[in-house]
Amino acid sequence: MSSERLGITVAGLHKDYRVHRRKSGMWKTLGSVFRRSYETVAAVRDLSFTIEPGERVGFLGPNGAGKTTTLKILAGLLHPTAGRVAVAGHEPRLREHRFLKRITLVMGQKQQLIWDLPPGDTFLQNRAIYDIPRASFDATLKELDDLLGIGPIAEKPTRQLSLGERMKCELAAALLHRPDVLFLDEPTIGLDVSMQLAVRDFIRTYNERTGATTLLTSHYMDDVAALCPRVIVIDKGRLCYDGALASLVQRIRPDKSIVLRYSHRPDRAALERIGTVTECDDAKAVVRVARPDLREAVAHLLLDPDVSDLTIEDPPLEEVLRELFARSAAGQT
């Protein structure tokens, strides 16, 4: 089958919002009673990409870049202004029930769990709505329980659960019908580090077990680095980059950081002869070196008897993206 049949295809997607504009102040407020002014804001502009079935893709961009708008269009919540979208062989805006049974959208800041009832009641409601056979429901719930450990918390009222517990139950509620396509919008937002790791592991395992196509947005770059071999980056609604995460890092920042630990204060001048020193204090220094020069630089640094530890790191993804957006704004990408 073609990727369009089961994966995701976006071609020339455009989405405009009509926004009411009113300046502050009493007279402006009164004026707006009689005459309202509107402005058209382009949230997504001429966006095109294809995602193969089973891929895990990170969808990145600064606030207001159009990520959530795109996800909502892909999930059928918003109608595109122009362009063509196909998800698992369906046109999302039609919101056919067959389509809705094949997808899920988890929004970290929104919830589907019924607030005053235990998550178990939401699970039962979803079983009825998605028409899940009892045996399949029980098996999926057990599998999700094994991965997420929701058994003990599924019988407590949702309002009494911690944020992390709620997110686990949200994920379970969203996946009971075993969707083929997962849209995850900031699934780890607000969670502590251990819970972020748990959710991240769960998403990877679910993808590997079920082969579900996964499109993920997150402001936590660790999520993206850990989960997504490929990233799609947009800014101001336009595509900035689509490809392997490793290639993006190499293209934008063709250098590596050598992190050095010292038994006493290092000689900054000596380090500057090797590369660009980005950090230097009493016990630690970070030197940025072009990738072709890395081997020679490391060999040289290891000769220094005061070096107690040496690690080689890619530049933080946040820095790479900041650089990418700056270039995008300057029209260099």
Contacts with another protein by CB under 8 A lie at 17, 68, 72, 75-79, 95, 97-98, 100-101, 103-105, 107-112, 114, 116-117, 121-122, 124-131, 157, 185
Which of 291, 288, 293, 290 minimizes the C-alpha distance to 272? 288
Q: Which residues are bridge partners to 145 per DSSP?
A: none
CB of 220 to another protein, least distance (A): 16
CB of 125 to another protein, least distance (A): 5
Question: Sheet harboring 238-244: ordered strands across?
Answer: 103-107, 181-185, 213-217, 56-60, 230-235, 238-244
Closer by beta carbon to another protein, 108 or else 266: 108
Q: Where are the beta strands (DSSP E) in the chain?
A: 8-21, 37-51, 56-60, 82-87, 103-107, 181-185, 213-217, 230-235, 238-244, 255-262, 276-280, 284-290, 307-313
Closer by beta carbon to another protein, 174 or else 198: 174
CB of 106 to another protein, least distance (A): 10
- Contact status, residue 185 vs residue 104, Cβ threshold 8 Å: no
Closer by beta carbon to another protein, 79 or else 300: 79
CB of 276 to another protein, least distance (A): 40
Closer by beta carbon to another protein, 114 or else 274: 114
The token pair at 31 is 């004026």
Instruction: Return d(Cα 105, Cα 112) in angstroms, integer.
Output: 10
Closer by beta carbon to another protein, 95 or else 322: 95
CB of 47 to another protein, least distance (A): 18
- For the chain, first and last CA: distance in Å? 34
- Contact status, residue 173 vs residue 114, Cβ threshold 8 Å: no
CB of 20 to another protein, least distance (A): 9
CB of 116 to another protein, least distance (A): 4
Closer by beta carbon to another protein, 44 or else 324: 44
Instruction: Return d(Cα 325, Cα 125) in angstroms, integer.
Output: 43
Instruction: Return d(Cα 163, Cα 190) in angstroms, integer.
Output: 8
Residue type, 172: A
Closer by beta carbon to another protein, 75 or else 258: 75
